[in-house]
Structure 1
């Protein structure tokens, strides 16, 4: 991701560039990044608003989205989350950042030694394949050996990821109405959620 490009988009929005002009800058750039072959990681580490931004800002991360996963109840919502956990799902370019690096960042981004006060905010790694499972276990065990403490993070296979409500997606950016209104003029909410450029700006 070209951070000069992202900065220029921010400045254009601040100084009132039309939605059409913004679209001419953002859409081709998104199309280029959307051609990358990506892999996906899914983590729970507390309220998902923060990780949506912090992971989205990483070099090699293409896009992020937040949702609910890890439980058995069907169709969870924020007001009825059941046995699910708030999670961030990350599409990344493995040629730029590895799954191991993402797991290490995950552990460095929250206190994985503490008991979660609710399932909603649990420390959780949901692996997508056997390689991810092995990597997550290795990093967890290494951390336990280094700190001589038991890591409370649950590691389990992802069954299904339920996308959270629109107002949770890129939450920090949506609080900046001067930016949000520009973007919603030029793209649908689904495009906003999945835009690589928006993921970086949100971070």
Structure 2
């Protein structure tokens, strides 16, 4: 399973504009280049989505310039070449730190400081007034697990794609009748599938809100 930009945006909280901007290399390199495909069709991996969520959380409190600078320090000065999702990056607004079990490396100013609290990038958060859902449970009856259909959102406890359930409801099948097509899928789960699909589609609006990159 790979994620098209619209779904990657919906699961990460990044805007489509940010995804495009972050793919482009600045003086310090790109923030994140999709590891599945960085050319059309552009496709992101599950690890990319985790990393994007971290970048969105960092961007809430610090500038993109600092993020690029911190990533350049991480990659070039420290020689860390693993996928960005492998690292815990936190900020206090003034600097960005590579968090380790008992300390954190300051990626902007150099040196070590102690970090007492790390941000859980998998947990829900708010971005520009929009609630970004928990990555592994974007709705009460939906789950995202890399080991299940490669991370495609599915009905909880099944391998049934949420998009297929949502498509049936949008075609006129009542949520209460979804069980006739997919035994074990409740009406509540079907409604969650539609609600989540509507949320994902909102990232494909032709005129998205303008936000800072």
TM surpasses 0.5: no
Select the structure that is richer in helix.
Answer: 1
Select the structure that is richer in strand.
Answer: 1
Which of structures 1 and 2 has the bigger CA Rg?
Answer: 2
Higher relative contact order (CA 8 A, sep 6+): 1
Give the TM-score of the pair, scaled to structure 1. Answer: 0.26
Give the TM-score of the pair, scaled to structure 2. Answer: 0.25
